[in-house]
Chain A
């Protein structure tokens, strides 16, 4: 099973700042089959990025994904008030499909 470790656990930033979230895999994720999701309290997760760097439909271009192999990054270029949430990475290259433990982006 591929274990995904996200860092930091919590990121305290102000609106307008840049957020950089990390997701590290215990082994290489084949074909960059890595997705990112955003979850707000009381809501279902929302797909942001798949294939490590492809934005899902309707996702603003301030969200970008990068990386390959074992190291992946989600970047939010300028935080908007609605971006404060928990973010999860997920690999779908090798069953069982696994999630990271999440990074909370909170208002500083």
Chain B
């Protein structure tokens, strides 16, 4: 069974940093691209960042480019999101999502974690 478990969220002041993690199990992690998708409270979904299976391709939404860094450790079956210079508008539930394409970069999401909440407030 595919499982994605996010961690690392919390309350942080504007301008500070936070690192999110996603622990994956139930599938061959290094066969799939992975993504972060966020959802502000009461709002819709926003794709944040994606990384290919071998980290050869990385993409960011314009809203986080230059502030957020996605990475993965295939030996640890883990995905990360380093978030710097956080703003109030980054407040959201952050989901880890598995790309649906085997060995590809299809960028639609067949499995999701339950999310970790990031609140940016002074």
Residues of A within 8 A of B (CB): 1, 33, 35, 37, 39, 43-47, 50, 56, 88, 90, 92, 95-102
Contacts and interface: CB of A to CB of B under 8 A. Distances in A.
A99 B109 contact: no
Interface residues of B, number: 19
Contact of A45 (B46, B106, B112): B112
B108 A99 contact: no
B44 A56 contact: no
Contacts of B114: 43-44
Contact of B108 (A47, A96, A100): A47
15 contacts: A35-B108, A35-B109, A44-B113, A44-B115, A47-B110, A50-B108, A56-B110, A92-B107, A95-B107, A96-B47, A97-B50, A97-B107, A98-B47, A99-B46, A102-B44
Contact of B45 (A1, A88, A96): A88
A37 B100 CA distance: 13
Contacts of B61: 96
Nearest to B99: A92
Contact of B100 (A1, A50, A88): A50
B3 to A, nearest CB: 12
A47 to B, nearest CB: 5
B73 interface: no
Nearest to B50: A97
B47 A100 contact: no
Contacts of A50: 100, 108
B44 A92 contact: no
